[in-house]
């Protein structure tokens, strides 16, 4: 047909308004991306609470298509749900870097190290010392910073999680349901590692469980692990050398020893 038209000497002016199929798809994507969604728990300015973005996929060859990709707020929403389920939500509101008091030099130094870890995001962070010394405060503040940066975070209280896992150790499916997410999540916060009751020592079951989870994370350097415990490095090595040595190696410079520090929960404002 084009040859016939040319042979007849007929010229057809090019349209200046006709849009290509791809251009039309892009306009559709832009329009759909202005429609608010109905997700709750976090107000996302990027996807307007839809949880996804529309985009034009031109990787399929000749014909592009309109597709969706998850928004980064999906991770934040999952974190919020996990934190709410874990009971850490109230702590995260109270235990922040801004609310950490630094009347003494060691507290200022501890704050700098915690902030550095939250910024560098490498290795493990270990806070060791007796109850009330501030371990949970700084570890919780780090988790909040990493969550805000879009990293997936899980929190477990050792005593509760270990009891649950040890109770189903002979049920492969249920045991895997409890432990697999702890091995796989990008950031894991274990609170009060090996705290099993006043005057009691970690059982062989505790030792095996800790080694299984931490060894899996030790073998993947992209995994961040935050640990608070009342035990020193020497105590951890005594409890289990394999587990203690891995914690010692991965934490490196990010080891806060709160031994002999005051119990700040017992301090009274004057």
Cβ–Cβ contacts within 10 Å for residue 151, how many?
17
pLDDT tens by residue, 58-93 = 876 667 888 899 998 888 888 777 777 666 777 788
* pLDDT at 75 (0 to 100): 82
SS3 199: coil
* pLDDT at 93 (0 to 100): 82
* pLDDT at 72 (0 to 100): 87
Burial of 112 (0-12, 13-18, 19+ CB in 10 A): exposed
* pLDDT at 224 (0 to 100): 97
Q: Are 54 and 29 in contact (CB under 8 A)?
A: yes
Of 41, 71, 101, which one is at a domain's C-terminal end? 71
Whether residue 132 is found in the same domain as residue 105: yes
Of 51, 71, 91, which one is at a domain's C-terminal end? 71
Write out the residue range of the structural domain in which residue 172 sits: 76-265
Sign of CA dihedral 227, 231, 233, 235: negative
Residue 220, token pair as written in the block: 């993947």
Whether residue 61 is found in the same domain as residue 86: no
User: Is 270 among the domain residues?
Assistant: no
User: Is 176 among the domain residues?
Assistant: yes
**CB-side exposure of 180: number of CA atoms within 13 Å?**
6
Phi, psi of 124 (to 5 degrees): -115, 160
Of 39, 71, 103, which one is at a domain's C-terminal end? 71
Measured CA to CA, the distance from residue 165 to residue 135 in angstroms comes to: 25
Whether residue 86 is found in the same domain as residue 217: yes
**CB-side exposure of 230: number of CA atoms within 13 Å?**
16
pLDDT tens by residue, 123-137 = 999 999 887 778 989
Tell me the CATH number at 89: 3.40.50.300
Whether residue 261 is found in the same domain as residue 131: yes
* 0.75 exceeded by pTM: no
pLDDT < 70 positions in the chain: 1-18, 60-62, 85-87, 198-199, 259-270
User: Is 94 among the domain residues?
Assistant: yes
* pLDDT at 109 (0 to 100): 92
């Amino acid at each position: 047909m084009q040859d016939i038209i040319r042979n007849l000497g007929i010229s057809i002016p090019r349209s200046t308004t006709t849009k290509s199929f791809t251009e039309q798809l892009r306009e559709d994507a832009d329009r759909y991306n202005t429609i608010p969604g109905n997700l709750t728990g976090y107000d996302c300015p990027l996807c307007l609470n839809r949880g996804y973005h529309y985009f034009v996929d031109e990787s399929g060859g000749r014909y592009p298509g309109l597709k969706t990709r998850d928004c980064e707020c999906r991770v934040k929403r999952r974190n919020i749900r996990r934190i709410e389920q874990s009971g850490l939500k109230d702590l995260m509101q109270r235990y922040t870097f801004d609310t950490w008091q630094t009347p003494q030099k060691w507290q200022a130094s501890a704050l700098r190290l915690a902030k550095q870890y939250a910024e560098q995001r490498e290795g493990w962070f270990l806070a060791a010392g007796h109850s009330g010394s501030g371990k949970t405060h700084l570890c919780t503040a780090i988790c909040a910073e990493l969550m805000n940066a879009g990293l997936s975070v899980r929190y477990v209280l050792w005593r509760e999680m270990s009891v649950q896992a040890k109770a189903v150790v002979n049920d492969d499916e249920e045991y895997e349901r409890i432990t697999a997410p702890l091995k796989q999540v990008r950031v894991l916060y274990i609170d009060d590692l090996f705290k099993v009751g006043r005057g009691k020592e970690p059982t062989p079951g505790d030792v095996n469980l800790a080694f299984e989870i931490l060894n899996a994370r030790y073998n993947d350097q992209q995994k961040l692990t935050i640990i608070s415990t009342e035990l020193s490095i020497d105590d951890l090595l005594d409890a289990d050398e394999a587990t203690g040595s891995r914690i010692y190696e991965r934490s490196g410079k990010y080891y806060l020893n709160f031994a002999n520090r005051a119990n700040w929960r017992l301090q009274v404002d004057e």
